[in-house]
């Protein structure tokens, strides 16, 4: 009963903070329906409406404003007390919530997340992937994974692995039929798979060589917002795609995809695991950070092919 009540309070506070059920549900890692039900249950228990709801917005009622103002500090104290208790655990357990770019989550999944779960079976990891930058503290996340150049200055950051890069790839049959682009401007004559960013803008493909930077607005038959779909379309010879090398490395090694414009694809910043300073980290949190520190040393040897060529 206590846990259920705390979940309902967390639900109300997150909706009040975000102003939208969908955004609040995403950050709490639950469905919008489950979140709405939790808020409705608490409203029925209290016998008062906490939110004004319309099809376009959600706002606190006057009673809701007073309730949130009084409850928020107490809920924070409860969570801190629970963290203190969990920090005394001998065996790591409980849930760790991680927010990451989709590409970043894919890059760390096999060599970090899965091995950690095998080593600590009592820990549950909840990964939320989204393209936008998220305040991990406000979102209720324990950790974030982003490119090191995007980590907020007030966070503790742990580098994960080495340099990364994007690659432009196409199938041998596509390149045989349409030719191989030699400079970024040649992409104007090619079918390219466009990617939509979280803000709705179409991603401009970045290139760099000898200090010269070029951003290309590519054209093609499909616009996507998911990298795995772009890879599938490229493998079907629909066109060229710009992908993280880690996502298509197996395809390149197997000859299914061929990289082009390699002299123009710039090195990207490495990934970082980041988190706020914590007075009483849980045993699961400490175990994950320590595990990431050990694993990142091994993963740093898996550098992009462009770096290997320079050695």
Q: Do residues 306 and 278 share a domain? A: yes
Q: Do residues 58 and 173 share a domain? A: no
- Residue 2's pLDDT is 45
Highest mean pLDDT of the ranges 25-39, 87-101, 110-124, 269-283: 110-124
Question: Structure pTM?
Answer: 0.62
In which band, very low, low, confident or very high, does the pLDDT at 86 lie, cut at 50, 70 and 90? low
Q: Do residues 188 and 273 share a domain? A: no
- Residue 7's pLDDT is 85
- Residue 305's pLDDT is 38
- Residue 296's pLDDT is 81
- Residue 88's pLDDT is 66
CATH code assigned at 195? 3.40.190.290
Please give the C-alpha separations between residue 80 and each of 9, 18, 39, 253, 289, in angstroms, as whole numbers.
15, 21, 22, 49, 19
Q: Is it the case that residue 310 has pLDDT exceeding 80?
A: no
Q: Do residues 19 and 73 share a domain? A: yes
Q: Do residues 118 and 71 share a domain? A: no
CATH code assigned at 11? 1.10.10.10
Give dist(CA 268, CA 148) in Å, integer.
Answer: 9
Report the range of poorest mean pLDDT among 18-27, 49-58, 76-85, 128-137.
76-85
- Residue 20's pLDDT is 86
Give dist(CA 171, CA 82) in Å, integer.
Answer: 53
Please give the C-alpha separations between residue 72 and each of 49, 75, 151, 199, 216, in angstroms, as whole numbers.
17, 5, 27, 31, 48
Q: Is it the case that residue 82 has pLDDT exceeding 80?
A: no
> Which of 56, 86, 116 is the last residue in one of the domains?
86
DSSP states along 196-225: B-TTSPBPPEEEEETTEEEEE----S-EES
In which band, very low, low, confident or very high, does the pLDDT at 239 lie, cut at 50, 70 and 90? very high
CB 93 within 8 A of CB 287: no
Q: Do residues 224 and 185 share a domain? A: yes
Tokens of 226: 């998911």
Residue 124: strand pairing partners: 95
- Residue 24's pLDDT is 85
Q: Do residues 53 and 200 share a domain? A: no
CB 38 within 8 A of CB 5: no
- Residue 308's pLDDT is 34
CATH code assigned at 151? 3.40.190.10
| Mean pLDDT estimate for the chain | 87
Q: Do residues 215 and 297 share a domain? A: no
Residues 214-247, buried b or exposed e (16+ Cβ, 10 A)?
eebebebeeebeebeebbebbbebbbbbbbbbbb
Strands 267-268 and 156-160: unpaired
The pLDDT tens digits of the residues spanning 246-276 come to 889 999 999 999 999 999 998 888 899 999 9
- Residue 1's pLDDT is 39
In which band, very low, low, confident or very high, does the pLDDT at 122 lie, cut at 50, 70 and 90? very high
Greater model confidence, 130 or 127: 127
Q: Do residues 155 and 172 share a domain? A: no
The pLDDT tens digits of the residues spanning 9-63 come to 988 998 998 888 888 888 787 888 888 888 999 999 899 999 998 777 789 999 9
- Residue 131's pLDDT is 80
Give dist(CA 4, CA 41) in Å, integer.
Answer: 10
- Residue 48's pLDDT is 92
Q: Do residues 17 and 138 share a domain? A: no
Give dist(CA 293, CA 271) in Å, integer.
Answer: 13
Give dist(CA 91, CA 285) in Å, integer.
Answer: 11
Q: Do residues 246 and 193 share a domain? A: yes
- Residue 138's pLDDT is 82
Total domains in the fold of the chain: 3
Mean local confidence (pLDDT), 122-140: 88
141: domain range? 95-162+269-310
Q: Do residues 152 and 280 share a domain? A: yes
Alpha helices in the chain (DSSP H): 2-18, 21-28, 32-46, 62-86, 102-108, 114-119, 172-178, 227-235, 245-254, 283-299, 305-310
């Amino acid at each position: 009963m206590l846990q259920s009540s705390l979940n309902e309070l967390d639900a109300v506070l997150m909706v009040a903070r975000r102003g939208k059920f969908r955004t609040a549900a995403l950050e709490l890692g639950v469905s919008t329906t489950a979140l709405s039900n939790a808020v409705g249950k608490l409203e029925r228990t209290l016998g008062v409406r906490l939110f004004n709801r319309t099809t376009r917005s959600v706002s606190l009622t006057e009673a809701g404003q007073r309730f949130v103002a009084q409850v928020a500090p107490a809920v924070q104290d409860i969570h801190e007390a629970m963290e203190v208790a969990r920090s005394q655990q001998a065996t790591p357990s409980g849930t760790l919530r991680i927010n990451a770019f989709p590409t970043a989550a894919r890059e760390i999944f096999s060599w970090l997340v899965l091995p950690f779960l095998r080593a600590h079976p009592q820990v549950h990891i909840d990964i939320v992937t989204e393209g936008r930058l998220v305040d991990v503290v406000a979102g209720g996340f324990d950790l974030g994974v982003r490119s090191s150049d995007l980590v907020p200055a007030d966070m503790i950051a742990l580098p994960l692995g080495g340099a990364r890069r994007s690659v432009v790839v196409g199938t041998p049959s596509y390149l045989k039929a349409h030719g191989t682009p030699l400079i970024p401007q040649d992409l104007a004559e090619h079918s390219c798979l466009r990617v939509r960013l979280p803000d709705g803008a179409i991603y401009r493909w970045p290139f760099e060589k000898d200090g010269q930077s070029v951003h290309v607005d590519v054209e093609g038959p499909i616009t996507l917002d998911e990298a795995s779909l772009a890879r599938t379309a490229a493998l079907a010879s629909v066109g060229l795609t710009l992908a993280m090398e880690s996502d298509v490395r197996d395809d390149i090694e197997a000859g299914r995809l061929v990289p082009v414009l390699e002299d123009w694809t710039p090195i990207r910043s490495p990934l970082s695991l980041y988190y706020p300073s914590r007075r009483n980290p849980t045993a699961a949190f400490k175990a994950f950070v320590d595990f990431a520190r050990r694993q990142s040393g091994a993963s740093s040897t898996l550098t992009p092919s462009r770096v290997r060529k320079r050695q």
